[in-house]
Amino acid sequence: MMSDRKANSSNMLLSHIELYVQDLAKMEAFYTNVLGFYVTDRGAGESGMVFLGRSPKEHHQIVLNPRETYRSVASPIDHIAFRVNAISDLRQFNSALILASDINLQTVSHGNAWSIYFRDPEGNRFEIFTDTPWYVNQPCKFPVDFAQSDAALIKFTKEKVEKLPGFAISQEWQKAHEHNLAALEQ
C-alpha cells in the first residue's frame, strides 16, 4: 500500500555507485587510465575497496568492491549515466574509449542528449552524455557520428528532432516541467 505522504521536495542527486568486481586491478586501471577517475581512498590489503572520483564535491563517485560472492548473475540495472558539460568533453571520452582495447561504443542522440554507451571490462554498461538544446518526447534514439564538426552534429541532430512529437527548446520544456512538478507538490 502506497503512502499519501510525499517525499521531501529537495532535489535528489546521484552521489555514487558501488560495483562488485572480479579483477580489481584491471577495473581500477580502466576507470583511472581510460575514464580519468582518481583514487580518492582505498581499503587495506589486496581485497580492499577502491574509491574513485572526478568531482571535487564528492569523496567518491564509484566504489570498486572485489567481493565475487556478492555478484549476481543478472543485474536489474541497464546502465549508469554520467553527464558532462559540453560536446568537447564527450569527444574526449569518445577518443579515450576508442583507444581502449575491447570496448564497443554506441554513439547516439536521444534528441535531448548526445550519448556514448559502452561496457567496462566486466560488462557493466555506462552512458556518458551531454545535453542538446532541445527536448523531444522519449524514447528517441538514433546514431550520430562524433567525427562530425560541432556545427554539423548540431545541424544533423536538429534536422532529425525538430519535427518529432514534443519538440521544444529545452529551457522552455524545463520551465513547464518545473511548473508541473510544483503543482504536484501542492
Can you give the pLDDT at residue 9? 45
pLDDT digits (tens, 9 = 90+) for 90-115: 999 999 999 987 889 999 999 999 99
User: 24 or 78: which carries more pLDDT confidence?
Assistant: 24
- Asked if CATH classification 1.10.287 holds for the domain at 78-186, the reply, yes or no, is no
Q: How confident is the model at residue 8 (pLDDT cuts 50, 70, 90)?
A: very low
Q: Are 53 and 38 in contact (CB under 8 A)?
A: yes
Q: Output the DSSP codes for 57-69.
A: T-S-SEEEE--GG
Q: Are 135 and 162 in contact (CB under 8 A)?
A: no
**For the chain, percent of residues with pLDDT exceeding 70:** 86
User: Angle CA(37)–CA(66)–CA(80) in degrees, nearest 5?
Assistant: 50
Can you give the pLDDT at residue 13? 65
Superfamily of domain 16-67: 2,3-Dihydroxybiphenyl 1,2-Dioxygenase, domain 1 (3.10.180.10)
pLDDT above 90 for 43: no
Which three cell numbers, joined as nine digits, stand for 49? 575497496
Domains 16-67 and 78-186 share a fold: yes
Can you give the pLDDT at residue 124? 86
| DSSP H or E stretch at residue 42 | strand 38-42
Least Cα distance to 26 among 162, 167, 122 occurs for 122
Q: How confident is the model at residue 1 (pLDDT cuts 50, 70, 90)?
A: very low
How does DSSP classify residue 76? S
Least Cα distance to 119 among 130, 108, 105, 100 occurs for 105
Can you give the pLDDT at residue 184? 63
Q: Considering the chain, what is the average pLDDT of its residues?
A: 85
pLDDT above 80 for 14: no
Query: What's the whole-number mean pLDDT along residues 146-154?
Result: 96
Strand partners, 39: 52
Hey, where are the domains in the chain? 16-67, 78-186
Burial code (b: 16+ CB inside 10 Å, e: under 16) for 121-143 equals beebebbbbbbbebbbeeebeee
